[in-house]
Structure 1
């Protein structure tokens, strides 16, 4: 009997505004433009690698135009002190490059370097009632996670995301199934603008991701702020120490049961991803070896898998100018697109002489 998740998945995949990576690659990948990004709150970890970075590299490899925004302005949506923001941006860009993103094929830029994105946000805000923002799932989730009073920036966060996408005329936005409602506001903004001022924007589709969710070493969502992440820039000793401390359970025999044994299942998933196997096969091999044997296997597999990436990252980090040059090239490209979009919007709104 199909579960609720199976039914929702089938319904989502039947939507014309939802595509999968397989759909993109089955057609002409060069007809798409992907907009995706991250908040630079710290160096990236293995959850990012197996979750989002691998998909971006695959898109790039197949000729999909990919634009990545580092949303530095959005760092302050849920914190008073952004910390060393330039340093955080540098660390993330080094992670991108080490993981395989090529600045000759993928545009990487920061929010603060492209003013037209934020100018576009103003007319977009006029299209969205406050009540609609109040009930937006993105806003509610972010506020709950931060535990802070709702700021104007956080309230308008989804509109800022819409400006990111529409400023560069992104046609695909990678999301998980639980994020499908978030992209709908971008589609709504595009649709309302077109209805009011004439057609300027195509409504972007969701690129539905089947990327695995890698949990942290404590069984919760992997996050640097929780201290449960394995950073891409870490060395082999730090990786081994994190995995030795990873939470498991009291059962000796290793089985892959994500619902009943999430911590053990997460280690099996991590080991499988790093070694190109399935979690079920790995569980069968470890068997009665227990958590100690499992952790040793995962440590060896992950350290070996990350070794080339970490070597590239160390080499890149020795060049003081590499990140600056990548961001300058990306900002130039993104600015040209966003400026042209803003000019078109102003004409449509009859704001030019």
Structure 2
């Protein structure tokens, strides 16, 4: 009996040790061309990029450690806007690369020890071969001797059709890998697949990898977009205004709300939006509409500092003449901004949270005209 207990404890120890190891990652290696330089590690969630850690390299050598239950896409960042991507797995990994290869793309054949990186490289390798075969068939179909042979032409077209299914079949076969759900995110953002395509993929992903960060974020994206554009329901918005006050749409008291969502750029390009907001604040006040300006901004929105070689980030400032609520979303810090494209949007919402008018073209006169139709007082 005592022997059985000892064996059980020993096996349990192995299982626990294995589980602990599988929830930790160690990334070490060397970057050629640098000495003592700060190296940043970021995690891509599909929706945004999060800084995880930073270290100072010693003669180019570095090490990162951390906890993770799932593999994820990561960015390594150096100064001068040099970045490279890899897939980090819960394992011990080694990276050997030169700084000149930091070109904002995924590194290939530079990282060892990452199962997810191997899956990504396998996909890219097979995708390249698949595309080469498709190109060869396309070229063959232009040959007169092939074009005039109906049997051969039919065979080539059938093969081309089969090759066209490669990506969907690969995504289905390896749906349990975080790499696949990450790639689907990229397909969607690159307009290579629609929201309906994503919903079809999710039928498999939700079974194969239900707890994956990319799967969960894909579900959240589909749900929010359908909430806005299918059910015409404006999501609860909770953020901090430029004046430092808490804003929560769930506490709404006004009869109507106009959410004016615009993308910030240089001061001269921002001016038309500020002029439009000046016009709207008068109209909104007359018609009992609470006007909310949501500014989509980016940490990459930089302006040159006069008479220097430095750059500074453009940020909106408090203007006493602005009699409306102003909220800045810096790098998608406001959740709602993640789920909208970068063009202009205006949503007129009633107290029940229903969207009664949506406009996605920048035309202030049209917007004021439509507002009058919906909410003008007698």
Normalising by structure 2, we get a TM-score of 0.23
Higher strand fraction (1 or 2)? 2
Q: Choose 1 or 2 for highest CA Rg.
A: 2
Higher helix fraction (1 or 2)? 1
**Bigger RCO (CA 8 Å, 6+ sep):** 1
Normalising by structure 1, we get a TM-score of 0.24
